[in-house]
Structures are given as C-alpha cells and as structure tokens.
Amino acid sequence: MHFAPELLDQLRQARHIAVFTGAGVSAESGIPTFRDAQTGLWARFRAEDLATPEAFRRDPVTVWNWYAWRRELMRNARPNPAHDALARLERLVPRVTVITQNVDGLHARAGSSDVIELHGNIWHNLCSACGKCVMDEQLSNDTPPLCPDCGGRIRPGVVWFGEALPVAAWTRASEVLETADLFFCIGTSSLVEPAASLPRYARACGRPVIQINPEATSHDEIAQYVLRGKAGEVLPMLVAAAWPQSV
C-alpha cells in the first residue's frame, strides 16, 4: 500500500495522536462487528435490539445470556496486529490516546496505556436498580444475577441505546480533541451518536482526520486521508512506513 509522504511526515512530527476506534478494530480478533448479521443461537436477534434498557426490562434472561456468550467470545479473543500497532505507537510518539467504542478491553490487553472507553466495559457488572458495582466473585447463580445489596438485577456495565455516555469519558475525549495533532478514525460505521460526532469535532478543530476502513462511511467526506483496508493490515504497514527502524 502506498502512503502519501505528507501523511508520513505528519505522523513523525505529531506530539499527540488521538485514535478513535470501533468494532472493526476487533473484527480480526474474531469478534463480530455490531452490524454483522448474528450467527448460531443468536441469528434470530439483531444486536441493536438486544443492547437496550427496554430489552433488558422485557427479557432480562435473553439479554444476560447474550452478554454471557459475548464475554466468553471476548475472553478467548487475542489482540490483533491493529491493537498491537496502536500500542507500539506509544513508543514512537510522545502521547497517544485511544478513544474506543469497544467494550472488549483489547486495547488495554495489547498494551495501550491511555484508553478512554466511551461505551463502558463488558467485564463490569452493575446493579440496574441501585447502581452498585459488583465483582464477578460476588455474582449469584441466578440469570441474571441479583444484587447482593438490594436484590436488583445485575447488568453489564456498558452503554445501551438511549443511555448517556459516562460523563468523565466524554469530557476526557472532548479535551483530547483540543490537544491532539492528528485524529485517526478506525473500524467504525460512524452511525452511533454522540461518539460519531468526534471525528467531525476534530475536523472542525482543524485536526487532520485519517480514516481506516475497508468500507466507505460518511466520515470519508471529512477525512484528509482515506486508507481503504483492514485495520490489522493497514496499521502495521503505516507504522512501518513512517518509522522503518521500528520493525
């Protein structure tokens, strides 16, 4: 793949890089993206219809079992070359902040040290009634488990449709846009708000936006560079092209 020499210069000169990621970054780890059709037991459900507070109220058993299945998938998944290349970038650029919509924790497992999780983390358990955080060891054997304090239903600590994003994560992500020199947008359909507005804010702040995705998205229009391909292939090549001595 050929990279514009100006892009490689901008990368080498950057003091702070912001990287906004979505499900496509974990696709090569074997975790289906949100808008992939579901398979097996879950083929008759749409992911969008399970990730809502209404679905959990209506059918908590199905929603809990879906998350239990996804946790198992994520537990067995390994970071892929895209996660690894982003973690490696920290040794080449003074500051790298990953702003992710993913709940799988794979950026941190790959070694990225500054990760903002906009949509929560699938490994956290919360009481849907009193908000208490509950450790795995404290979970009862019910489906879904019940809160040891108030008996409410335990839910995964992720952000569902119609719920607000964690304030601290959103505030930090907005601050990062003000200090970053470059903004990567990788592996997201950019359909889900308010996260999808971040690349537009970055562009409005005058930051070059670099889009990596095998498919076109609405953010191609605002991107200074569109790199068409899989993140696990494009990112390692890009890092090697900018810093040949790093490989």
Determine which residue in the list 46, 136, 151, 161 makes contact with ligand BJW, applying CB under 6 A. 161
Q: Give the CB-nearest residue to ligand BJW.
A: 24
Q: Which helix (H) or strand (E) holds 17?
A: strand 16-21
If one counts every other C-beta atom within 10 angstroms of the C-beta of residue 216, the result is 11
Stretch touching ligand BJW by CB under 6 A, among 57-65, 168-176, 184-192, 201-209: 184-192
Cis peptide, bond prior to residue 144, ω within 30 of zero: yes
Determine which residue in the list 9, 49, 142, 163 makes contact with ligand BJW, applying CB under 6 A. 163
Pick out residues in 129-158 that bind ligand BJW (CB under 6 A): 158
Residue among 2, 16, 107, 119 flagged as catalytic: 119
Residues 45-50: contacts with CB under 8 Å, at least 24 apart? 48/161
Determine which residue in the list 94, 167, 168, 193 makes contact with ligand BJW, applying CB under 6 A. 193
For residues 149 and 127, is the Cβ–Cβ distance under 8 A? Answer: yes
Least Cβ distance, residue 124 to ligand BJW (angstroms): 11
- In degrees and rounded to multiples of 5, residue 137 shows phi and psi of -65, -25
Alpha-carbon torsion (170, 185, 216, 7), positive or negative: positive
Looking at the annotation, which residues are catalytic?
119
Residues that bind ligand BJW (CB under 6 A): 22-24, 27-28, 33-35, 51, 101, 103, 119, 158-164, 187-189, 191-194, 213-215, 217, 230-232
